[in-house]
Amino acid sequence: MESGFYSTGISDADALSLLIRTVFERGALFSGHALVWRQDDARISPFESPKSLDFEEVACDQPTLMKMLNEGNTRVLQVDVQNATGLVRARNEIITYSRIPPEVMGTDSHPVAIWTEGGAFDPYLSKGAMKKVGDRAYRVFRELVPLLSPAYASITIEWGLECPAELRQGHGSQAFQDFYASKDVLGHQVMAKLELLFKHGYIEKLHHGKYFSSWEFFNPEGVSIHESARGDASAKAGRIIGSSILVQ
Write the pLDDT tens digit of every residue in 98-124.
999 999 999 999 999 999 975 666 667
**Range of 197's domain?**
2-244
**Which of these, 122, 144, 115, lies nearest to 21 by C-alpha position?**
144
CA angle, 242 as apex, 182 and 117 as ends, to 5°?
Answer: 75
How many Å apart are CA 150 and CA 180, to the nearest integer?
9
Size of the chain, expressed as the number of residues it contains: 248
**Which of these, 162, 159, 158, lies nearest to 241 by C-alpha position?**
162
CA angle, 232 as apex, 182 and 141 as ends, to 5°?
Answer: 35
Percent of the chain residues past pLDDT 90, beyond the cut: 88
**Which of these, 99, 76, 87, lies nearest to 20 by C-alpha position?**
76
Task: Quote the pTM value.
Answer: 0.96
What is the band of 219 on the pLDDT scale with cuts at 50, 70, 90? very high
pLDDT digits (tens, 9 = 90+) for 54-73: 999 999 999 999 999 999 99
Mean pLDDT of 18-25: 98
**Which of these, 111, 88, 138, 107, lies nearest to 4 by C-alpha position?**
111
pLDDT beyond 50 at 152: yes
| Domain total of the chain | 1
